[in-house]
Copies of this chain bind each other. A is one copy, B any other.
Amino acid sequence: MTTSSDQIEIYDTTLRDGGQALGVNLSLADKLELSRQLDWLGVSYIEGGWPGSNPKDAGYFEEVPKLELERAKVFAFGSTRHQRNAPANDPNLIQLVQSRADGCCIFGKTWDLHVTDALRVSLQDNLEMIGSSVEFLKERTGKPVFYDAEHFFDGFLANPDYALSTLAAAAKAGADRLILCDTNGGALPEQVQRAIAAAQSVAPGVPLGIHVHNDGGLAVANTLAAVQAGCTQVQGTMNGVGERCGNVDLTSVIANLELKFGKRCLPEGHLARLTELSRIVWERLNLTAPLNQPYVGKSAFAHKGGIHVSAMQRNQRTYEHVVPESVGNTRRILISEMSGRSNLVAKLANRYPNLRDEAVLSGILNEVQDRENQGYSYEGADGSFDLLVRRHLGEWSAAFELLYYRVHGIGTAGEDAHTVEATVKLNVAGETRLCAAEGNGPVDALSHALWQALTPAFPTLSKLHLVDYKVRVVNSSDGTAAKVRVLVEYTHGTHSFTTLGVSENIIEASWQALVDAVEYAIQRGREKRA
């Protein structure tokens, strides 16, 4: 049972603070779609942007009301007034008043060093800037105003009395929450707890929040320590995106608070949406998800060592701290050089529960090992692995026989300089087909020609859609002659799968992956009909 004191407000700032991360560049469409998804997960607040900082963020607050979010309140971010402006003449505060947000969150200076060295105003003037800005926003908007105490923990170490007086100024002016920030991300859990105890004494009635960065690798621990010390709001970003080492990762915080501290962060039953939300965010941000991300990563519940896998088959608690399904993740059994027979049997058990044929198992294991020595890696290529198993089981027949493929006209000379032509000749369903197609590059041209040749016989292929295409050098010591591994991910309706190819020639490696993808899709199509 969670009581009201067990309720934690999740304030997501992926769209604002997350946008400071290296390589992150969100369009207005991205921001709106992510708002919809964050609402689906069930966060309490979405910090959508800083309307005073750029036109894209101002546009966001015009558009977001049309989404009619179910639960999340959308907040605008800003700063206290500029030292030279009265609140009513401060462009930043006026933008916040004019925005259609449900509330706002403004940051001010807490650390005396920042007041004197960065802002260059007197300590007293800074207190007045905080108080008058909060007061102005409360009066003019009639909506909640949260106050972000930037650098609170560093400021508290340097000059505790002054740091606390900035909180008192915001509280006195009517701030609805005081958010304690570890802006530089270097605080330690004990420091966090001591400073929070002091903050509670200067603003007893005002709920506290925590906002930390991960520069010391302690963001999750600092956030949990803050909640234990009494903070009831957690600010952070999904997947921990953010500048330098990132903000605290809300996916880890939410899972820990709900599963290990008995707190409630999301509506009942929504915790199982966490893994899907995390992957949607990685995708929208166009960043590669780290496999080892706690709770939601693809390998968070992956088992590779043979001993672990044997024990897991006897009792799942032996090597898992929580049940993967609690956060919407799944268990994976990995196939690799180290795995041995027990992993292979476990991975195949789902599909072929009665497979005990030693010769077949050995054949599969040996082929996996041989191919891994050549640079293949089946850990991330479920589609190609499935085809490999089927070949050993005699359950597979090739959908077509390739005679040749060729690519022509790559270069800068002539018209349509970047248009490439590919030809594919193959035998399919008793006839020989030669198809030619153009494309924007060699892989595009080849895939068009291949689909053109096969779709008449296998109409299911028209529903295949490429999701991702990745290339990596397997052994960079050979320079541009090094082998590359190509992974392609396709979706086929709701099912997605990955296939791979390896070669010194990037076109050949891509071709292998394309062929595996069509073979896999055709095979699945046959089974569905059967």
Interface residues, chain A, CB within 8 Å of chain B? 19-23, 25, 54, 113-114, 117-118, 183-186, 188-189, 214-218, 220-221, 224-225, 240, 242-246, 249, 252, 255-256, 260, 286, 288, 290-295, 297, 299-305, 308, 310-311, 314-315, 317-322, 334, 336-338, 372, 377, 379-380, 402, 404-407, 410-413, 418, 420, 439-444, 447-448, 465-474, 476, 479-482, 484, 503-508
Contact (Cβ within 8 A) B406 A291: no
Contact (Cβ within 8 A) B189 A221: yes
Given contacts A336-B25, A468-B473, contact A304 B243 (CB under 8 A): yes
Q: Which residues of B contact A300 (CB under 8 A)?
A: 215, 244-245
Could you show 8 A-B contacts with beta carbons less than 8 Å apart? Answer: A113-B317, A215-B322, A245-B297, A286-B474, A406-B410, A410-B507, A410-B508, A441-B508
Q: Which residues of B contact A242 (CB under 8 A)?
A: 292
Say how far A238's CB is from chain B's closest CB, in angstroms: 14
Say how far A491's CB is from chain B's closest CB, in angstroms: 11
Say how far A165's CB is from chain B's closest CB, in angstroms: 20
Contact (Cβ within 8 A) B337 A25: yes
From B377, B442, B482, contact of A410 by CB (8 A): B442
Q: Which residues of B contact A404 (CB under 8 A)?
A: 411-413
Contact (Cβ within 8 A) A243 B305: yes
Q: Which of A188, A300, A441 has the most CB of B within 10 A?
A: A441
From B256, B310, B465, contact of A217 by CB (8 A): B256
Say how far A310's CB is from chain B's closest CB, in angstroms: 8
Say how far A133's CB is from chain B's closest CB, in angstroms: 16
Contact (Cβ within 8 A) B321 A186: yes
From B221, B410, B412, B439, contact of A402 by CB (8 A): B412
From B183, B249, B447, B480, contact of A447 by CB (8 A): B480
Contact (Cβ within 8 A) A411 B407: yes
Q: Which residues of B contact A117 (CB under 8 A)?
A: 311, 314-315, 318
Contact (Cβ within 8 A) A481 B440: yes
Given contacts A216-B321, A476-B468, contact A406 B411 (CB under 8 A): yes
Contact (Cβ within 8 A) A244 B292: yes
Given contacts A23-B377, A290-B290, contact A260 B508 (CB under 8 A): no
